[in-house]
A = this chain, B = another copy of it.
Amino acid sequence: MKLLEDRILRDGQFLPGNVLKVDSFLNHQIDVAFICELGKEFARLFKDSGVTKILTIEASGIGIACLTAQYFNVPVVFAKKSKTTNIFGDVYTAKVESYTHGTTSQIIVSSRFLQPEDRVLIIDDFLANGQALNGLIEVVESAGATVVGAGIVIEKAFQPGGDLIRSRGIRVESLARIAKMDGANIEFVQD
């Protein structure tokens, strides 16, 4: 999506270790009007998928998911992260390892908010190694619901997550796919 690629080039900060900071418009300050345009694009891509619910993970996925959900007219559920392993009540959980932080956390969704008949679109800001996305898929499958696909804002296509998840037959639509980062030189995957 050219609008997004242009914004990444203009406002992204490129830090050592393949870190791309987009906190001026995506995940600390949120350019709401801009994110609505991304939401409309997700709605266009998944308009025939019969989406009944959008699932994301706290914290930075929530704004994108809510602004996108308006165009589907469906509710959002956000998975919570927890360091504790003692989770009580009726919940679905999955383990998520963070390469960036070197930690393992649990993600948790109350079983009241995912039903077997749900057709779930997963929304997140980044896809790199796919740990968070895998955890969200596991949660949906635990509920017996259907993953219709994942809508990702920025995919680091040089990391394995996207290809691994696509190879399992899950539709992944990333609005910007970074093929290569080298300092401030960035190349997007060309469709």
Contacts and interface: CB of A to CB of B under 8 A. Distances in A.
Interface of A: 23-25, 28-33, 35-36, 58-59, 62-63, 65-67, 69-70, 73-78, 80, 109-110, 112-113
A80 B59 contact: yes
Chain A: interface secondary structure?
mixed
A109 to B, nearest CB: 8
B76 A29 contact: yes
A48 to B, nearest CB: 20
Given A24-B113, A28-B80, 10 more contacts: A29-B75, A29-B76, A30-B62, A30-B75, A30-B77, A33-B70, A58-B58, A63-B63, A63-B78, A67-B70
